[in-house]
Amino acid sequence: MDINLKEKFAALYHKDPDAIYFTPGRVNLIGEHIDYNGGLVMPCAITLGTWVAIAPNHDNKFRFKSLNFEIETVVESNVLTDKNGGIWANYPIGVINEFIKDGKEFSGIDFLFYGNIPIGSGLSSSASIEIATAYALNSYFNLGYDKLALVKIAKNVENKFIGLNSGIMDQFAVAFGEKNKAIVLDCETLKYKMVDVYLGNYVLVIINTNKPRELADSKYNERVAECQTALQQLNQEIRLDYLCELNAEKFALHNHLITDKVILNRATHVVKENDRVHLAAKALNSGNLEEFGRLMYASHESLKTLYEVSGKELDTIVDFCKDYQAVIGARMTGAGFGGCAIALLEKGYEEDFAKRLTAYYTDRIGYPATIYVSEIGDGPHLITDTYQ
């Protein structure tokens, strides 16, 4: 942690915290825009994340403070609380509401959050603060939920309390992530496999375009609709629930049914991206990071040209990576139109890469990108040594 949360807690609440918990953010390594087509995603937890320090109080109030936001919120500890404007505390409040609805009772608690995930950049600081709250309360009070139950609670909060209609990947990845492992997840069935990722001589670099993802929501809905159209047209000849039931070979037998070029491009991305996830899992299993890197570049190219969800900022980063020898793979990650790209970079080049990319990007885009060197980190856990 880059700050002393115990000291900050003591300064704000005039007592020590009882426990501090960490929950990571996440990136999706490959498998983009196919979760809603019955495809596989491959997210992993990152070492950036959210810490929460807690201690009980004696006045039956929940007090929410965050080092990332100035607004503090206080609510009664055992009543359901309405959503309150745009305040950040809605995330922990939403989680606590779910516990209360499920019959749990709490005495008062003082909370202090701190996150080093760039907020609103597609690395899931929201899922991180949701799972941080759920995991901390579940552990501290022995509430008895398993991880999947916490994931479903957090997703409910995001969908119904916050009002964002997102899938389950973020909460799942943040809760189930493990150090040096990726999760190969079917977001429909929730079947998953953990795959070892030996980065060896490479590091995972996350590059934030610092571009607001303005278009993401409307374009996201447009892509979902386009995939539905492709599915309907294919279903004149075969019976499919999802596009990803076809691999590229089978798709080639039926794709003449898709008459519109744009719709054909969208479906082609979906089918081939899902194949790439299978190939990527194989590459990781055999320790072939170079192959994994090639698949990352292919994924980006497809998202750029066939699915058209990239953009000048993300493309500028990936173009730079292609020409930078110590990078073996790079792609946009997340919904696109901004947010973040990821790259696999040979160790030892971190500083040079950051310096050159910053100059290259700023020159073309007009403002700098932010570069984070990360590892594939642990899932939620108690931080034991900060409050001994």
Cβ neighbours, 10 Å, residue 312: 11
- Nearest in space to 190 (alpha carbons), one of 41, 376, 318: 41
Say if residue 300 carries a ligand binding annotation: no
110 is catalytic: no
Q: To which residue do tokens 């795959």 refer?
A: 195
Write out the residues near Mg ion by the rule CB under 5 A. Answer: 126
Closer CB to ligand ADP, residue 204 or residue 298? 204
Beta carbons of 93 and 71 less than 8 angstroms apart: no
User: CA 10 to CA 387: how far, in whole Å?
Assistant: 11
| SS3 (DSSP) at 50 | strand
Residue 149 interacts with, from ligand ADP, Mg ion, none (CB under 5-8 Å by kind): none
- To the question of whether residue 124 is assigned a binding role by annotation, the answer is yes
Nearer to ligand ADP, 126 or 209 (CB): 126
Question: Smallest gap, in angstroms, from Cβ of residue 111 to ligand ADP?
Answer: 10
Between 91 and 297, name the residue whose CB sits nearer to Mg ion. 91
CB of 129 or CB of 344, closer to ligand ADP: 129
Nearest distance from C-beta of residue 119 to Mg ion, angstroms: 9
Nearest distance from residue 127's CB to Mg ion, in Å?
A: 6
Is residue 230 within 8 A of residue 251, CB to CB? The reply is: no
Q: Residue 387's binding partner, choosing from ligand ADP, Mg ion, none, with beta-carbon cut-off 5 to 8 A by kind?
A: none
In whole angstroms, how close is the CB of 126 to Mg ion at the nearest point? 3
Binding residues for ligand ADP, rule: CB under 6 A, are: 50, 66, 68-69, 88, 91, 113-115, 119-126, 129
DSSP 132-143: HHHHHHHHHTT-
Nearer Cβ to Mg ion (126/209): 126
Q: Which residues of 210-231 are buried (b: 16+ CB within 10 A; e: fewer)?
A: bbebeebeebbeebeebbebbb
Rounded Cα gap, residues 257 and 242, in angstroms: 16
**Which of Mg ion, ligand ADP, none has residue 377 at its interface (CB below 5 to 8 Å by kind)?**
none
Distances, alpha carbon 210 to alpha carbons 37, 308, 337, in Å: 29, 19, 11
Sign of the Cα pseudo-torsion (233, 236, 241, 243, in order)? negative
Q: Helical H runs in 5-121?
A: 5-13, 90-101
Q: How far is the CB of 52 from ligand ADP (least distance, A)?
A: 9
126: annotated binding-site residue?
yes
Out of 59, 102, 146, 170, the active site residue is: 170
Is 34 annotated as a binding-site member? yes
Which residues are part of a known binding site?
A: 32-35, 66, 120-126, 158, 220
Catalytic (active-site) positions: 170
Which residues are part of a known binding site for Mg(2+)?
A: 126, 158
Which residues are part of a known binding site for substrate?
A: 32-35, 220
